[in-house]
Amino acid sequence: MLIFATAVLAQTKPMLVMHGGAGTITRASMTPELEKQYREALEQALRAGHAVLAKGGSSLDAVETSIRILEDNPLFNAGKGAVFTHGGRNELDASIMNGRTKAAGAVAGVTTIKNPITAARAVMEKSKHVMMTGKGAETFAREQKLEIVDPKYFWTEKRWKQLQEELANEKGKPRASVDGMDEHKFGTVGAVALDKNGDLAAGTSTGGTTNKRYGRVGDSPIIGAGTYAENESVAVSCTGTGEYFIRWTVAHDIAALVKYKGMTVQQAGDEVIQKKLVPVGGDGGAIVLDAKGNFAMPFNSEGMYRGWVGGDGVPHVLIYKD
């Protein structure tokens, strides 16, 4: 039996699936130049994560590496390019989870950590806690010698204009979309990975929602809501209106449907994203990956930046609904 099990594990084919946020993303609203930028960014992240897996690296390493690429890219609402709060700040959230051990780490409301996903992993591996927030998380990050930046690093003109539009809208003035797309809510990034040992991992990173108030935290740093991973079921990363993903514990619900009801990743993803969230107004999507390499990318919005790369190393990127 042991020999057989070892043989099965040796045949595991690494897989990486990513998302870059969901929202009102249509061909009509996307310029060719901007679409090219998004595709190239996702392909870069997928290749970076695949390179880790191809060298025998862990699913955790692949998730962290690929998410860092998007955190550093101002196109996405994570890290540099994060949206602004009502008070004109960038407050970042992230989480990561190990599917083999169910260890997890998260940070929320941080303003000076260059790569929140790395800080989340440090919380998981170098502390006895699961989540740290605000100044405390930043103090911990400095102690761990993580890269700290001036809050101005995260500022981008595009996101600043989005905040001004939201503030004007509150005063009864019409709001115009930036770049032809309504990205005020979405742009969260995430990854799920399967390594050669059959271990799953999931991670999510976000700047939250434009014009968010009073230390608001969404689902991205909350294990079971925006992120979840266990080898016995699936790895999940979500993007959408966080309040719904928290209340419906979306990531864990998807995993539970696979584990206890025997649903496929597509069936479980659709059950929650399409059948449970849509009737209550919860918009967004998720990426789901099981230990056999099966994956699904359900979403109920106009579009979702998403992609995957398997053993052949060829990245595939999709944006629109069809």
Tens-level pLDDT at each residue, the chain (322 residues): 444 444 444 558 999 999 999 988 888 888 999 999 999 999 999 999 999 999 999 999 999 999 999 999 999 999 999 999 999 999 999 999 999 999 999 999 999 999 999 999 999 999 999 999 999 999 999 999 999 999 999 999 999 999 999 999 888 765 544 443 444 456 899 999 999 999 999 999 999 999 999 999 999 999 999 999 999 999 999 999 999 999 999 999 999 999 999 999 999 999 999 999 999 999 999 999 999 999 999 999 999 999 999 999 999 999 999 8
Active-site residue among 85, 188, 239, 241?
Answer: 188
Domain boundaries defined on the chain: 17-320
The domain made up of 17-320 has a fold known as Glutamine Phosphoribosylpyrophosphate, subunit 1, domain 1 (3.60.20)
Q: What is the largest CA-CA distance in the chain?
A: 69
pLDDT at residue 322, as a whole number: 80
| φ, ψ of residue 18 in degrees (nearest 5) | -135, 160
**pTM of the full structure:** 0.93
pLDDT at residue 178, as a whole number: 44
CA distance 231 to 103: 12
Residue 26 annotated to the active site = no
Please name the amino acid found at residue 310. Answer: G
pLDDT at residue 6, as a whole number: 42
